[in-house]
Amino acid sequence: MRAGDIVRFKPPYYISSADGVHSTNIEEVPWYIGLLVEYEKTYKIAVVYYPDHDKLLRIASYHVEKAGIKDQLSSDNRAKNR
């Protein structure tokens, strides 16, 4: 992953609970779409810009994946439904 990539990520608890997902089980939390700002290989930390809350989030790398075409289509559909 490089800076500028569109990624999907599992947010920290306080972000997902603000969006109405009240679960401590990480598998039940939906994937969110954001922009990768920085990836620190030595610490395995990704800094992701999350535009819905206008925040930079530092997330462990095992909760961040590069987004594919299916992720882009699902986020477009969500934007149309708002």
Give pLDDT, residue 23.
65
What confidence tier does 6 reach under pLDDT thresholds 50, 70, 90? very high
pLDDT of res. 68? 82
| Interatomic CA distance for residues 6 and 65, integer angstroms | 9
Question: Class for domain 6-81, per CATH?
Answer: mainly beta
Reported pTM: 0.73
Note the residue count of the chain.
Answer: 82
Please report, for the chain, the start and end positions of each structural domain, with discontinuous segments joined by +: 6-81
pLDDT of residue 29: 77
Print the SS3 string covering the chain. CCCCCEEEECCCHHHHHHCCCCCCCHHHCCCEEEEEEEEECCCCEEEEEECCCCEEEEEEHHHEEECCHHHHHHHHHHHHHC
